[in-house]
Copies of this chain bind each other. A is one copy, B any other.
Amino acid sequence: MPAPIEIGQGEDPRVVLGRVVHQQRIRLGISQEDLADQVGLDRTYVSGIERGIRNPTLLVLLRLAQALGVPAGRLLEEKTGSAGPQLTSA
């Protein structure tokens, strides 16, 4: 049972970022290691980001956005979740 994705605004930005990264990665159907490889980061570091315990830099955020195929700003906004783009089939 996948935890219901809630959107908190006073929430820790690192956790929010982690959720977005996770969602986008799953959407691409790739593993943390695959993503880490594409971004040029360590696999454990990507894991930390998704868990919201890391505080990545501007450069890393940008590379992450690129690898995930989303606009950089997307990583800081979290527009997904409720009434999300159900992403038909695939």
Contact = CB atoms under 8 A, between A and B. Distances in A.
Contact-residue size bin, chain A (C-beta under 8 Å from the other chain): 20 to 34
How many copies of this chain does the complex contain? 2
A41 B2 contact: yes
A81 B4 CA distance: 31
A37 to B, nearest CB: 9
Contacts of A48: none
Interface of A: 1-5, 7, 13-14, 17, 38-42, 55-59, 61-63, 65-67, 71-77
Given A62-B13, A77-B71, A55 B55 contact: no
Nearest to A73: B73
A5 B58 contact: no
